Amino acid sequence: MVQQEEDKDHPSESVSSRRCAICSATRPFILHLIPYRGLHRHLCTACVLDSHPGSFCPICFDVFHNNPPPPRLRLLCLKCPSISHISCVPHPHPSSYLCPLCSNPNFTFFHVTPNNNAIEINFHLAKQLVAAATIAFESIHNAAVMARINADIRVQEALLAKAEAKQVLERLNNLIDPTLVSDTSVDS
């Protein structure tokens, strides 16, 4: 069992007082910081998994790390971009496969029921939690890489602008009559 405790980064704000940016869950077990719709948002584990259906197998919760299984080893959901391992789907394999989320309207990822402010994590829930944390890590890592690339581009643009400004100032100095420059320096 895991006891919910106060957030270390924001001591005055407990985890239970924050909300998921998608489902607005008021008591999420864990909130993952993840880029979502152009902003960094806190999402609960279920919403991380819901919003990244092609990133993991919804049955075994193995994350694909931007490298899904080859076509001969996977089944694609007919309704969403979810990808399942053929070995995870019960036999016989249906010709019109629907992932667990699409086949059951009541399906929810990371469905936990707190008992006296404590949550019991079984193996199945732990796999979901690890999958969501892995997806969140990869998303933040990719965002950081893109931010670094954009920062490098901006630095190069600034250096070019500085060099152009220096050239313009040098041309301006060449155009100014040297006697006017010396006359104004004498007057001051």
DSSP for residue 68: P
The winner for highest mean pLDDT among 23-27, 28-32, 109-113, 134-138 is 134-138
Give yes or no: residues 6 and 43 share one domain: yes
Q: What is the pTM of this model?
A: 0.67
Instruction: Give per-residue burial for 79-98: e unless 16+ CB within 10 Å, then b.
Output: eeebbbbeeebeeeeeeebb
Give yes or no: residues 138 and 168 share one domain: no
Strand partners, 85: 74
pLDDT tens digits, one per residue of 97-117: 888 888 888 888 887 776 767
How many domains does the chain divide into? 2
Q: Which residue range is the domain that position 160 belongs to?
A: 145-187
Tell me which of 20 and 5 has the higher pLDDT.
20
Q: What is the mean pLDDT of the chain?
A: 81
pLDDT of 7 higher than 60: no
Give yes or no: residues 114 and 176 share one domain: no
Cα separation, 31 vs 22, in Å, equals 11
Give yes or no: residues 73 and 6 share one domain: yes
**pLDDT of 150:** 93
**pLDDT of 4:** 43
Give yes or no: residues 51 and 82 share one domain: yes
Token pair in block for residue 75: 């089944």
Give yes or no: residues 129 and 149 share one domain: no
Per residue, what are the HEC states of 130-185?
HHHHHHHHHHHHHHHHHHHHHHHHHHHHHHHHHHHHHHHHHHHHHHCCHHHHHHHH
User: How many residues can be counted in the chain?
Assistant: 188
Give yes or no: residues 137 and 163 share one domain: no
Q: Give the end of a domain, one of 144, 161, 179.
A: 144
User: Which DSSP string corresponds to 74-109?
Assistant: EEE-SSSS-EEEGGGSPSSPPSS---HHHH-TT--T
**pLDDT of 38:** 79
pLDDT of 187 higher than 80: no
